[in-house]
């Protein structure tokens, strides 16, 4: 593509220059449109599973083209696990992989939304989701840092300093809050792609983002290791109690 990848402009050499705000907003809107098409308008529901700046290609007018479908899969009526699709482990790139994927091994549209949220925060802030950001005596990931600024009502401070304050305040706040909403640890709480597209166009308000980042919850149907241990111990305790109340003849009968 004439303008390379989004990654080139965020982290490449100085020959590309700094992406201005209108280009950043245009690129993210194009990504949202592409994701909406994959999830809702194509013949089959498709999950990309590797959303990141290096997979966003830019034409001469900085229109975004979503590329690299090497990990993409079409979903039928059921959600498939990575193992069922013949893939070992959890494919994708750390920082853009939804937390539930490490527990369920499922490819879902919600995990794509999480990846999109990571890219949104990255484009607005000009920082990779994998780096640690120092603040006072702590180190924050990008999403935790933005969430902290949101809680302190200073979210605009997260905008890339390289823009030299040349950005739309309302649009930047909308994108930062949208990025946090898409990064929600609980998959069911993330906005759907058809809503994301409307939020970016300004026809829908941004979903409510709580001041504190919610705690990850185990997906429905996936037992937590801790709860599994607790259940095992409870079963063992009940068995011991039942056994203690049995007569000798009852115990011998069970052994037989």
CATH number of the domain where residue 160 is located: 1.10.510.10
Task: Please tell me the predicted confidence (pLDDT) of residue 222.
Answer: 55
186 located within any domain: yes
Residue 29: pLDDT above 50? yes
Question: How confident is the model over 208-237, as a mean pLDDT?
Answer: 63
Number of domains in the chain: 2
Residues 36 and 123 placed together within one structural domain of the fold: yes
Task: Please tell me the predicted confidence (pLDDT) of residue 71.
Answer: 61
Question: How confident is the model over 29-48, as a mean pLDDT?
Answer: 92
Residues 23 and 146 placed together within one structural domain of the fold: yes
Residue 37: pLDDT above 50? yes
Residues 249 and 179 placed together within one structural domain of the fold: no
Q: What is the pLDDT of residues 115-159, one digit of tens each?
A: 999 999 999 999 999 899 998 889 999 999 999 999 999 999 999
Residue-range definition of the domain harbouring residue 16: 6-222
Residue 247: pLDDT above 60? no
Residues 51 and 171 placed together within one structural domain of the fold: yes
Residues 80 and 165 placed together within one structural domain of the fold: yes
Catalytically annotated residues = 50
Task: Please tell me the predicted confidence (pLDDT) of residue 84.
Answer: 44
- Name the band, by pLDDT with cuts 50, 70 and 90, for residue 18: confident
Residues 131 and 233 placed together within one structural domain of the fold: no
Task: Please tell me the predicted confidence (pLDDT) of residue 240.
Answer: 40
Residues 216 and 234 placed together within one structural domain of the fold: no
Residues 85 and 172 placed together within one structural domain of the fold: yes
- Name the band, by pLDDT with cuts 50, 70 and 90, for residue 252: very low
- Percent of the chain having pLDDT more than 70? 75
Higher pLDDT, 156 or 88: 156
Distance in angstroms (rounded) separating the CA atoms of residues 176 and 125: 9
Structural contact between residues 57 and 69, judged by C-beta atoms closer than 8 angstroms: no
Residue 82: pLDDT above 80? no
1 located within any domain: no
Residues 231 and 198 placed together within one structural domain of the fold: no
162 located within any domain: yes
201 located within any domain: yes
Task: Please tell me the predicted confidence (pLDDT) of residue 223.
Answer: 57
Distance in angstroms (rounded) separating the CA atoms of residues 115 and 84: 22
Q: Which residues contact 248 (CB under 8 A, 6 or more apart)?
A: none
């Amino acid at each position: 593509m004439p303008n390379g990848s989004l990654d080139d402009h965020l982290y490449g050499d100085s020959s590309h220059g700094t992406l201005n705000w209108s280009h950043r907003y245009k690129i993210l809107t194009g990504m949202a449109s592409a994701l909406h098409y994959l999830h809702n308008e194509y013949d089959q529901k498709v999950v990309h599973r590797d959303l990141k700046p290096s997979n966003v290609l830019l034409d001469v007018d900085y229109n975004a083209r979503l590329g690299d479908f090497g990990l993409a899969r079409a979903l039928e009526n059921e959600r498939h696990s990575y193992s069922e699709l013949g893939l070992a482990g959890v494919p994708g790139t750390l920082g853009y992989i939804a937390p539930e994927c490490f527990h369920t091994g499922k490819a879902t549209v919600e995990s794509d939304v999480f990846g999109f949220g990571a890219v949104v925060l990255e484009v607005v802030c000009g920082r990779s989701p994998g780096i640690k950001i120092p603040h006072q005596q702590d180190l924050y990931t990008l999403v935790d840092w933005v969430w902290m600024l949101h809680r302190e009502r200073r979210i605009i401070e997260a905008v890339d300093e390289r823009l030299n304050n040349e950005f739309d305040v309302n649009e930047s706040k909308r994108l930062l809050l949208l990025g946090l909403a898409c990064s929600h640890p609980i998959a069911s709480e993330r906005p759907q792609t058809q809503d994301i597209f409307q939020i970016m166009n300004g026809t829908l308000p941004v979903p409510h983002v709580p001041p504190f980042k919610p705690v990850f919850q185990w997906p429905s149907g996936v037992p937590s290791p801790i709860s599994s241990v607790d259940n095992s111990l409870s079963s063992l305790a009940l068995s011991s109690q039942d056994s203690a109340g049995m007569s000798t003849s009852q115990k011998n009968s069970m052994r037989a």
